[in-house]
Structures are given as structure tokens and as C-alpha cells.
Amino acid sequence: MNEQDFKTWLRERTDATPVPDALLPEHISEQLHTTPHPKKWYQHPGLNIAATFLLIGIISSSIWAVNYANNHLFSTNESFVKTDTAMEGSQSNESIINEGDTSYQKNTIAASSDTFEAKTAIQTPESYRQLYKIMDGLQVNYLDKLYGETVQDIGTGEAKQENSMIETDDIASGESTSKNENIDYYDTNSQVTQVSEADIVKTDGTYIYSCCYQGDYSLNAVAIAKAENGTLTACSTISPEDIENEINCTNFYIAEMYVTNQKLVLLCSGSTTIQDFASYDYAYNQNTYILTYDVSKPEKPVLLSSLMQEGSYNTSRCTDGYVYTFSNMASNVPEHYRNYDRYVPHIEGSRLDCEDIFLPKCPDSAYYQIMTGMSLEEPDDFISSKAVLSASGTYYVSTDNIYYAQQSWDQDCTKTEILKFSYYQGNIQPEGSITVSGYLLNQFSMDEYNNYLRVVATVNSPKQTNALYVIDSDMNLVGIIDQLAPDERIYSVRFMGDTGYFVTYRETDPLFSVDLSDPTNPIIMDALKIPGFSNYLHFYSNDLLFGFGEEINPSTGESIGLKLSMFDISDPYNITELDKTVLPDVYYSAAQYNHKALLIDPERNLIGFYAECYNDTKYEYGENYMIYSYQPGKGFQKEFTCNLTEDEILSEGSEYYGESFYNTRGLYIDNYLYLVYGNRFCSYDLDTFEKKEGLIVRGDEQHIHATY
């Protein structure tokens, strides 16, 4: 979510192309005073004079280059910015040249040190003692260390409590699921086809597994039901007591899970109390527990292994029979570096070696991101374990690499360091890192294709703009478009092959298309302006791009309601909004911010999502699950609505006042739709959407089963 200006090589040949305002003589003085310089330049007047002449030379060269490009390089005169004037029920699209709008002019912006920092190897601490110094510096004087020093600077001073004795341990010592080809079923909506993402509801095409509540506000149990031609049969429940007995932790919750190769993998977070901290009477230590069950007989799941890594669960991926789990660990730095257990991450009770702990250039605080790899065939131990000194960030996992993007703050702007780790059969290895200006929206801001990483970021230096970076396999920046969409912010991003699409927003929704066929020369092809914005983009076909977001009143900035959009991208130089449907009574959907909550299958022509509704005329509030389809020429058609709060099965046993159904998931197996909320299951015929059965799976084996 961000805002930014647009400057890239002018693709159209036109003598009327103006010189950018920033290069006009009357603005040169302003630029000299507002452009940030490295520290202490202001102390050298001679350098300022030299810089002035240098800037004049650059300006002259830039003006000559623009004029030359206009007169010699381009053979077409295209309208770059356009506004889609199609309203509800209208199919018209009109391209408009906004002569006074320079927000999306295409200019060449050379990559500079202000935009990125050259790639570096990912460092490791030479010893636990050096690691302690870095973490102690971060904890004691966070802002000074973060703003003024790199990892090397922090780790070079002497420890506060020096000791002449050196102890020996102070020295740095395609689709992941096996899908039944005879059964057509829907798995979790994931970013990369061959890399599965965990969720709270899963199916293997025969059985449905759902995380549920059992006597608590947290998801702490698993209900398992068999689904066959719409018929639902209760199988079993993994109870909180079953899990507690294995992890020795009473304060836990199930974050997500996988079902693959007749294995059920539960990813849980739990806290234990640690006594006698130096500065606290007690503290909570968060751990992530990975429980693997054999569910070849779902009526009686058999626990195969239980693994533990420190930190609360963050996210994970599953591919080729291996699970990669990422957790976030807070450290309480002790008064002496030899108290290793207080600040060095532990995996299965063993302290990580220094060679497995990695240091960003600018660590943000005394936290760790912990990464592990595990085989589903042999889940008794981790294959590899790594940690990054970082509090929070964004993970993107391609078929070969793990990218972790960590934000850091400069005096002038936010920067993002992207650390690359390769992985194979559970092994995780560092590859390198690069720092770029700006911050990322989410995992979809990164995409790897043909060994190039494409990144879209929002930059806030000195004004808010946006940028697109192309990074090669060695983590070198090879292509860039910056100064995009000034004063706007990124709301959604999606890449498909050699083309990238992203949405920025201020008062209207510009949908940009980018040609990435030449990684060294990315080119903006089009920018479509329409009211509102899309939180999520999904390719519906090679020619259609689906947008899921909100319609906004451009005059007031108020939300009108949820919006479904379908864009024609058959010609990426001329994007149009073919159809849109605005749901004025729907003001929120979990799928806007969690792509896993969206059921979307272009082949089945299904778009399903949870929706919170409010009718301000009747003052009625409701929670629905809605299914839409799309037909070119006819637009979006509502196929099905289930009122979750009134359904006698889905609402049965709602134990907590104000309980929300936002965790409801929709999936299909063959020709039946299943709505699942906790331990409640309902089936519907996909042809008629008539309800067939409902089921509640109880832990005490007393099941409510209703046939319709």
C-alpha cells in the first residue's frame, strides 16, 4: 500500500514532450537544497561548487538525450495515461491524454546509489561473542545503532563485561501434494503453483481436515470428515489433549497445516514461561511445533514425530515432499555473552552454530527469523536450520529459492534488504543479498522468473513514489523503473511470465502493465485509471486479469462497497476493464488481505469468498459466503449465497459472543462445493447449489448429521 511518481524512457516519438519540471532552470536551485547528500558534504564548499557544475552538465546531457530520443529512437506516438470511463453496466472504454498530468510520463532514470546498494555476501558472526555485541548494541541503543552503523560497526567494540578466558564454544563453530488424478479437487490458493502454502482447512480429495476450536478461543484441535459425492461422514478429531501430550505445552494454538502424501502436518505455536531473567521476574518463550501424523487411516491418525524450533510461527511452504518452516523469535539479551541460551536460537534443544546465523547489513532489533527444512518421509529431525537476525519481514518462495525481505530505516527513507537462500531437499544455503529503496506490500511484491527476481516497492524519499527492480541470480540489480506514481501507494502486484501488473491508489486505481522480456530494460506499457482499487490480482486466463478490492467514491474517498473487476490484458499496451460488479452492502472480505481465503478456479469458473455485509437502510448486519462466475459479454453472475449466521449447521455451537465466520473456507471435490468452518461442514451441488448435507464433528464421537 503506497504512493509514487512515474518516470521511464519516453516510448512515443513526439516533439511536444516537455522537459521534466525538476530539470528546468528555475528548479535547479531547489534541487540543490532538497536533494540529500552523504554526511559531511555540507562542510566542503568546494565540493558544493563542483557539484553545481556537475549537475548543470548532467542536466544539459539529459535534455539532449530526451530530445535525441524523441527525434530518433521512437517511431510511434502513443497515449500513455488513460482513464476507463466504463460504469456499472457499460462496456465502453476510452483513452484520454491528460496533457497536464505528468504523473505517468515515461523518462529514463539511471540507477544510482540512492536507489540501491550493490549486492553483498550474507555475513555470519565470527563468534557468539561478536553476535552478543551486535545484539546488545541493538537492544541498548536501538535507534543510534540502526541509523548510524552497519553490522560490522556494531560488532567491533569491546563487550561491556570483558573476560580474558575464551571458551571453546565461543569460537564460531510441482505441486507438493500427491494429487489423486481420478479426483478433481481444490487446494489452497497459493502464489507459486509448484509450492504449496499452509492453511486452516485442507483436503486430499477424499477427506477434509479443518482446524477448529475446542473449549478455547484459539484453534486447538483438528476435525476430520470424509466427503464422498456430497455425503459427509465424521472420521476423527485430534484433540487439544492429544497435542498437549506431545509438545508439553498447554498454551498453544494451531496456526496452519498441510495434508500431502498421506501425511498431516500441524504447525503450532506455544509459549512457555522462563523464570529468573536478569531484568524480569518472568518472560514468555515462544516456540513453533511441527507435528507430523500418518493419516493413511484418517479414522485414527498416528503421530510420527514432533519437532520444535524457537520463535512463534510465521509462515511455511511445502514442495517435493519437504516442509520449510519460518518462525520469529524474540531474544532477551543477558548481561554476559557466555549465557548463550538466552540469545542464541535453539532447534530441537540444540544451539545453532554461528555459521548458521546470518546478519543483514542493518539488523533491525534483537530478533531472529528461523528457517528449517524437514522431509515428510523422514520427519524425525530437521535436515537444515538457519537463522537471520531480524525482527520482521516478508517471505517469498520460488521453486528453487527463499527470499527474505527485511525493512530498515534511514534518515531519509525506508530501505529493504533482500536476502536470498537456495533450497533443495530440505537443505537451505545462503546465496547473497541486495538492498533497494522502498518497502514491500506483501509476498506478491516479489516474483522469480527465468532466474530473475522482480520486485515492486514503495519509496518514501524524499516524496512517496514507487519502483520496480529486476535482480539477476547473483543478486545484482540489472533493471529498474523508479519515480512511479507519485503520492500513490502499491495496493496489489502480480506477475505472469514476462509481464508484471501492479495497482497503485490515491483517488483512482491505476493498473500498470510492465514489459519484462528484457530484464535490463523494463518498460511500462500502459496505465489504466479507474475508481477504487484492487487488493488482490489473479490471472483468470492468458487474456483476463481478475481484480478483487473496493470501489471508492473519487469525490469523497469513501468506500462504496466490495468490487469484482475483470481486465482485458490481451494487449498489455491497451488494458481495459471489461466488467465490474460492485457489492454496495459488502464492506469487508478476508480474501482482500489473505489470498488463502479466496476460492478461485478459472477452469471451474468459480470465485468464492467470505463477506461481511451491512444494509444501512434496514440496519441489518450479516456474514455470507458468496460464489460468483464470470462470462465475457455477460459479466459477473452471483451463483450462490450462504448466510453463515443463519445456517443451522455452520452456526450451530457458536460458543462465543460476537464470534465471526471470517475463517470460513470454501473448496470443491468433484462436483460438490463444501463450506467449512471449524468442526462444521456443509455440502452443495455445484450444478444447482442446493444443499445436500451438514455435519458437525464432535470430539466425543457424538456427531450431528443433517440430510437435506
Tens digit of pLDDT for each residue in 161-214? 433 333 434 433 333 344 556 789 999 999 999 999 999 999 999 999 999 998
Tell me the average pLDDT of the chain.
80
115 within 8 A of 480, measured Cβ to Cβ = yes
Q: Identify the sign of the CA torsion 440, 445, 449, 454.
A: negative
308 within 8 A of 247, measured Cβ to Cβ = yes
Residue 706 is predicted with a pLDDT of 64
Residue 572 is predicted with a pLDDT of 93
416 within 8 A of 467, measured Cβ to Cβ = no
Residue 29 is predicted with a pLDDT of 39
**Bridge partners, residue 508, by sequence:** 531
β strands within 156-245, DSSP E: 201-203, 207-213, 219-228, 231-238
Domains in the chain: boundaries: 585-708
Cα 67 from Cα 199, distance rounded (Å):
54
Residue 179 is predicted with a pLDDT of 52
For residue 462, is the peptide bond before it cis, meaning its omega torsion is within 30 degrees of 0? yes
Buried b (16+ CB within 10 A) or exposed e, 663-672: bbbbbbbeeb
Buried b (16+ CB within 10 A) or exposed e, 24-41: eeeeeeeeeeeeeeeeee
Interval 277-286 mean pLDDT: 55
Residue 669 is predicted with a pLDDT of 98
Task: Count Cα atoms within 13 angstroms, Cβ side, for 244.
Answer: 10
Q: Which long-range contacts (CB under 8 A, 24 or more apart) does 299-305 make?
A: 299/235, 299/236, 300/236, 301/224, 301/236, 301/238, 301/264, 303/242, 303/246, 304/263, 304/379, 304/380, 305/379, 305/380
468 within 8 A of 454, measured Cβ to Cβ = yes
pLDDT at 571 over 50: yes
Residue 140 is predicted with a pLDDT of 54
Between 569 and 178, residue with greater pLDDT: 569
> Closest by alpha carbon to 431, among 358, 373, 362?
358
Interval 242-255 mean pLDDT: 88
At 487-538, the pLDDT tens digits run 899 999 999 999 999 999 875 668 999 999 999 999 999 998 888 889 999 9
Interval 61-87 mean pLDDT: 38
226 within 8 A of 232, measured Cβ to Cβ = yes
* Joined grid coordinates for residue 281: 521476574
Going by DSSP bridges, is the β-strand pair 523-531/81-83 parallel, antiparallel, or unpaired? parallel
- With a pLDDT cut of 70, the percent of the chain lying above it is 73
At 1-27, the pLDDT tens digits run 333 333 333 333 333 333 334 443 333
pLDDT at 349 over 80: yes
> Closest by alpha carbon to 75, among 10, 167, 4?
10
